[in-house]
Amino acid sequence: MDSTPSSPSGGPGPLPEEAQPLLVKVLIAGPFGVGKTTMIRALSETPPFHTEEVMTQAGALVDDLSGVREKTTTTVAIDFGRRTIADDLVLYLFGTPGQKRFLPLWEDIAEGALGALVLVDTRRLDASFEVMDIIEEAGLRYAVAVNAFPDAPLHDVETLRDHLDLLPDTPLVVCDARDRNQSADALITLARHIMAHAPVGAPR
């Protein structure tokens, strides 16, 4: 029976190049309290890494809790998870802090990312503009996922696109960040958007 070729050290050799999956770093971004940690927890096929801390009264002075009064924790560094989309495509998911004071950290996390999935909340759409501006300034491709909170107002897709001032080719989907399948569909939409705009000759 054939086996994987051995390396000089006697261990298994590297897999053929065509068998190596494409590893892609993407950001799960959005304003404070929009559901980024929840989505990564739902998506990750490995135990996700979180840096959440309990919010304090001091934090309430700088974080706008409008629409998220029930929130008790916040990400202070990153969330991280991994999701295999296909045999040849693996996404590394980096959740970014949603507060402006973490911008220097956000820039470090974004280094090497190919795109971002921006979560928005229809109860406070205006809170998403700053995040999208940062992503656009970084030159990242992105898709927008409306996190369907139970008490959030419903809008048709065209109204949302108009209010968010999205370019015609920027994907917009609606999902429940708690649902693994819906979150995966949003992530696949982003991956397709990234691949469709990849430079000629880049892996697809």
Q: What is the pLDDT of residues 144-190, one digit of tens each?
A: 999 999 889 989 999 999 999 999 999 999 999 999 999 999 999 99
Closest CA to 161 of 120, 196, 123: 120
Q: Which of 38-42, 96-100, 123-127, 169-173 has the lowest mean pLDDT?
A: 96-100
> Do residues 42 and 71 make contact, with C-beta atoms less than 8 angstroms apart?
no
Provide the pLDDT for residue 77: 52
Q: Is residue 159 part of a domain?
A: yes
Q: Is residue 155 part of a domain?
A: yes
Q: Is residue 8 part of a domain?
A: no
> Which residue in this structure is represented by tokens 């990750």?
44
User: Distances in Å between the alpha carbon of 126 and those of 114, 120, 132, 165, 187?
Assistant: 25, 9, 11, 11, 23
CATH number, domain at 106?
Answer: 3.40.50.300
CA within 13 Å, CB half, 107:
8
Q: Is residue 143 part of a domain?
A: yes
Q: Is residue 11 part of a domain?
A: no
Provide the pLDDT for residue 14: 57
Q: Which residues fall within 8 angstroms of residue 70, CB to CB, at 6 or more apart?
A: none
When divided into structural domains, the chain yields a total of: 1
Q: Which residues fall within 8 angstroms of residue 65, CB to CB, at 6 or more apart?
A: 33, 71
Q: Is the pLDDT of residue 61 over 60?
A: no
Q: Is residue 176 part of a domain?
A: yes
Q: Is residue 7 part of a domain?
A: no
Structure pTM?
Answer: 0.76
Q: Is residue 61 part of a domain?
A: yes
Domain that holds residue 94: 19-196
Tell me the per-residue pLDDT of 129-142, one tens digit each, with 9 for 90 and over. 999 998 998 999 99
